[in-house]
Amino acid sequence: MATAAYTMSPLPQLSRAVTDWVNSVRELTQPRAIRWCEGTEAEARELTAQLLGSGELTALNEQYFPGCQLYRSAPNDVARVEHLTYICTRSQEDAGPNNHWMDPREAHARMRELFRGCMRERTLYVIPYCMGPIDSPLSRCGVEITDSPYVVINMMIMTRAGRAALERIAREGRFVRGLHSTGELDPERRFIMHFPEELSIESFGSGYGGNALLGKKCHALRIASWQARSEGWLAEHMLIVGLQNPKGETHYVACAFPSACGKTNLAMLIPPASLPGWRVFTVGDDIAWLHPGADGRLWAINPEAGYFGVVPGTNPETNRNAYEMIRRDTLFTNVGLTADNQPWWEGLKTGAPVVDWQGRPYDPARGPAAHPNSRFTVSAKRNPSYSPHAEDARGVPISALVFGGRRREVAPLVYEARDWQHGVLVGASVASETTAAAVGQVGVTRRDPMAMQPFCGYNFGDYWQHWLNVGAGLARPPRIYHVNWFRRDAQGRFLWPGFGENLRVLSWMIDRCNGKVGASEAAIGRLPRVEDLDTRGLDVTQEALAALLAVDPTLWRKEVAEFREYLGKYGNRLPPALLQELQTTEARLH
């Protein structure tokens, strides 16, 4: 909302605080030029043309993928680096055992040495951005300084970037400062530092995704989770989806799953033909900011404006909306190429790769054509199921919160927490098999409370207490669930078809919220009986359904004992109410 006074001003004149900071960074980093981002389409086109000209981007087949480009990252820079990601609070305990910690003075000193003169032959870009609808009181702003034009074009898709954001910063007088340089892409000189007490981020040595697009994980989760605690709301690793039932009632559900567990697919779910009359609307696919509303409900906005999604596996059966969405005006990173210059990835049922993600002739002996963490960056407006309420300033009201993980066994298809306090325990107990979204071993089960292990900007003990406080203040709290789409049988086969069929589970939750359907009491919470699920047209045997809804007390006693041991790390920061809930569950299991 540009005001007349602002409209004609050059950007550096809008906010003294931003300009002072840019000047101090210029002195430190010594760029050849400075460029402030207006956020216009013409500017995005010009930058893209520049990157195409320099060979950093490759244009894709214009007939089948109009307006699409390919970017190849350095082969040693392909995922988030959790082991090099730090929370730098004055007290180590405030960062908690869930984070790597460094003293802020030491971190600043190290980073200053890395940043000194690092932009000498480069342009410094200033990207003012707003996380959330530009006119929403729930949104928060930041400014990223970077020397990577690839980061700029990503940020212009993923956030509301440019003049309007800077005008808002000028009005509000506060913003998150994010300083980024790709450095030399040396993994030995790579750090992603967060200073929640200063609302600032310093990232050096990576140009990839969450390490470099500072609005996303660094701001909208790590720094925002800290901000949210002091302001009474929640910043969560959750998709937001609107589900309209055949009667025309829409319920919004927010779901927290670890990275690469299908959040984007669930957010864009296509109802199966055997469930006619349902419609699904995407509000967000990765991050939700949840604010208590005056009506006692929880209201959510998606702070992002685009999707930075995992490409492999995307096809018309797994996610038709995403498949259609990424066929134009999309930036691909680290996918393979076909002979006629179309992007190619594993799980795409058509075409064949001739070039792999590193630009080499494709040879299956060298691994997949597309990197398992290859990504698309695309505007949310390209999503055929984009919700008409995704831009609402007040957000959307949340009926249910869902936690989940990727578990071969133990966790049933779905269960419901008894109340909010029990729901916090359920969320805290999430564990999941790791994926390629972060550097490290893939497929090992790790604790990932609320799917926030890599993203919570402070001590989990304090975070769970904050969750309890937020719930205690809600007159009409959402119900809380846990799901597991990834249960397998003894032969290792998935028991549940997933994808569109997940709507059957979500529909049970909505009916629970409306008081229309039953459940059976189990030690861990409430589960649907087979007859409570809408199984019309579902191709799953009765035995498989029974296995999916089974709770094995022996496995669960072991699970809960491991969880108790894990919680021990949080010592006296652990909320007593959470321990009480754990005791209740233990007693029920014995």
- Residue 435 or 484: which CB sits closer to ligand OXD? 435
- Residue 36 or 308: which CB sits closer to ligand OXD? 308
Which span (11-19, 102-110, 258-266, 312-320) binds Mn ion, by CB under 5 A? Answer: 258-266
Residue 94 is a binding residue for Mn ion (CB under 5 A): no
Task: Report the partner that residue 371 touches, choosing among ligand OXD, Mn ion, none (CB closer than 5 to 8 A by kind).
Answer: none
Count of Cβ atoms closer than 10 Å to residue 296 Cβ = 11
Nearest distance in Å: CB 110, Mn ion: 27
Measured CA to CA, the distance from residue 256 to residue 571 in angstroms comes to 25
Residue 511 is a binding residue for Mn ion (CB under 5 A): no
Residue 70 is a binding residue for ligand OXD (CB under 6 A): no
Question: Which residues from 123-152 bind ligand OXD, rule CB under 6 A?
Answer: none
How far is the CA of 420 from the CAs of 243, 291, 465, 583, in angstroms? 22, 16, 12, 16
- Residue 154 or 259: which CB sits closer to Mn ion? 259
The count of C-alpha atoms lying within 13 angstroms of the C-alpha of 446, restricted to the half-sphere facing its C-beta, is 16
Which span (65-73, 183-191, 246-254, 255-263) binds Mn ion, by CB under 5 A? Answer: 255-263
Site pattern 281..320 for ligand OXD (x: CB under 6 A): -----x---------------------x------------
Question: Which residues from 71-110 bind ligand OXD, rule CB under 6 A?
Answer: 80
Catalytic residue status for 261 = yes
The single residue among 128, 162, 205, 210 that binds ligand OXD, judged by CB under 6 A, is 210
What's the token pair of residue 419? 């109340």
Which span (28-36, 132-140, 284-292, 465-473) binds Mn ion, by CB under 5 A? Answer: 284-292
- Residue 453 or 585: which CB sits closer to Mn ion? 453
How far is the CA of 431 from the CAs of 24, 70, 443, 564, 570, in angstroms? 43, 34, 12, 13, 17
DSSP-assigned letter for residue 118: T
- Residue 241 or 437: which CB sits closer to ligand OXD? 437
- Tell me how long the chain is: 590
The single residue among 39, 128, 209, 293 that binds ligand OXD, judged by CB under 6 A, is 209
Residue 522: which H helix or E strand, with range?
strand 520-522
- Residue 147 or 286: which CB sits closer to Mn ion? 286
How far is the CA of 90 from the CAs of 103, 176, 488, 524, in angstroms? 6, 18, 45, 38
Residue 286 is a binding residue for Mn ion (CB under 5 A): yes
The count of C-alpha atoms lying within 13 angstroms of the C-alpha of 305, restricted to the half-sphere facing its C-beta, is 19
Nearest distance in Å: CB 156, ligand OXD: 18
- Residue 261 or 468: which CB sits closer to ligand OXD? 261
List all residues 6 or more positions away from 252 whose beta carbon is below 8 Å from its beta carbon. Answer: 240, 241, 242, 243, 283, 300, 396, 397, 398, 399
Task: Report the partner that residue 210 touches, choosing among Mn ion, ligand OXD, none (CB closer than 5 to 8 A by kind).
Answer: ligand OXD
Measured CA to CA, the distance from residue 69 to residue 149 in angstroms comes to 14
Question: Which residues from 571-590 bind Mn ion, rule CB under 5 A?
Answer: none
Q: Which residues pair with 525 in a beta bridge?
A: 522
| Mutual angle of helices 576-589 and 420-428, in 10-degree steps | 80
Task: Report the partner that residue 104 touches, choosing among ligand OXD, Mn ion, none (CB closer than 5 to 8 A by kind).
Answer: none
Task: Report the partner that residue 318 touches, choosing among ligand OXD, Mn ion, none (CB closer than 5 to 8 A by kind).
Answer: none
Measured CA to CA, the distance from residue 419 to residue 481 in angstroms comes to 10
Site pattern 409..438 for ligand OXD (x: CB under 6 A): ----------------------------x-
Question: Which residues from 252-271 bind ligand OXD, rule CB under 6 A?
Answer: 259
Residue 330: which H helix or E strand, with range?
none
Q: HEC profile for 211-269?
A: HHCCHHHHHHHHHHHHHHHHHCCEEECEEEEEEECCCCCEEEEEEECCCCCCHHHHHCC
Question: Which residues from 232-251 bind ligand OXD, rule CB under 6 A?
Answer: none
Of the candidates 118, 218, 261, 456, the residue annotated as catalytic is 261
Are 78 and 208 in contact, with CB atoms under 8 Å apart? yes
Residue 501 is a binding residue for Mn ion (CB under 5 A): no
Residue 194 is a binding residue for ligand OXD (CB under 6 A): no
The residues of the shown chain that bind Mn ion, judged by CB under 5 A, are 259, 286
The residues of the shown chain that bind ligand OXD, judged by CB under 6 A, are 80, 209-210, 259, 286, 308, 437
Catalytic residues: 261
